[in-house]
Copies of this chain bind each other. A is one copy, B any other.
Amino acid sequence: MAPVDLAGPDDLSFVANPRYLPYVQDSLAGVLLVPESLLDRVPEEIPTIAVEDAHVALYHVLRLLHPEQREPAAVHSTAVIAEDVELGADVTVGPYAVIERGAKIGDRCQILAHAFVGQGVRMGTDSVVHPHATLYDGVIVGDRCIIHSGARVGKEGFGFVWLDGGHRKVPQVGGCVLGDDVEVGCNTTIDRGSIGDTVVGRGTKIDNLVQLGHNDRIGEHVILVSQVGISGSTTIGDGAVLGGQVGVGGHLTIGAGARIGARGGVIGDVPAGETYSGYPARPHRESMRSHAMIAKLGEMFRRIKALEARIPGDD
Report A's interface with B, CB cutoff 8 A: 1-3, 6, 13-14, 17, 19, 53, 55-56, 58-59, 62-63, 65-66, 68, 76, 78, 80, 94-96, 98, 113-114, 116, 130-132, 134, 136, 148-150, 152, 155, 158-161, 163, 166-171, 173, 181, 183, 185-187, 189, 191, 195-196, 203, 205, 207-209, 211, 213, 215, 221, 223, 225-227, 229, 231, 244-245, 247, 249, 251, 262-263, 265, 267, 278-280, 282, 286, 289-291, 293-298, 300-301, 303-304, 306-308, 310-311, 313-314
Residue contact B203 to A166, C-beta cutoff 8 Å: yes
A226 with B1, Cβ < 8 A, contacts A134-B150, A163-B56, A251-B19 known: no
Instruction: Give the complex CA separation of A294 and B292 in angstroms.
Output: 11
How many monomers of this chain does the complex have? Answer: 3
- Could you give 29 example pairs across A and B, Cβ below 8 Å? A1-B195, A3-B215, A53-B161, A55-B161, A65-B173, A68-B171, A78-B80, A80-B95, A80-B96, A80-B113, A94-B98, A98-B114, A130-B134, A132-B134, A149-B155, A158-B207, A167-B221, A167-B223, A207-B211, A226-B229, A231-B262, A278-B279, A279-B279, A293-B294, A294-B297, A297-B297, A300-B301, A303-B308, A311-B311
What are the residues of chain B within 8 A of A314 when measuring CB–CB? 310
Residue contact A170 to B59, C-beta cutoff 8 Å: yes
Instruction: Give the complex CA separation of A294 and B280 in angstroms.
Output: 11
What are the residues of chain B within 8 A of A53 when measuring CB–CB? 161
What are the residues of chain B within 8 A of A296 when measuring CB–CB? 301
In the complex formed, the residue of B with least CB distance to A62 is B171
Describe A's contact surface by its main secondary structure: loop
A168 with B59, Cβ < 8 A, contacts A98-B96, A134-B131 known: yes
Instruction: Give the complex CA separation of A67 and B300 in angstroms.
Output: 60
Besides A160-B205, A189-B208, 14 other CB < 8 A contacts? Answer: A2-B196, A3-B196, A94-B98, A155-B208, A166-B221, A185-B189, A187-B189, A187-B209, A227-B229, A227-B247, A229-B244, A231-B244, A247-B262, A300-B301
What are the residues of chain B within 8 A of A6 when measuring CB–CB? 196
Query: Contact check: which of B187, B191, B244 meets A152 at CB < 8 Å?
Result: B187
A297 with B307, Cβ < 8 A, contacts A2-B195, A17-B251 known: no
A307 with B311, Cβ < 8 A, contacts A1-B195, A226-B158 known: yes
Min Cβ gap A119→B in Å is: 10
Instruction: Give the complex CA separation of A278 and B303 in angstroms.
Output: 25
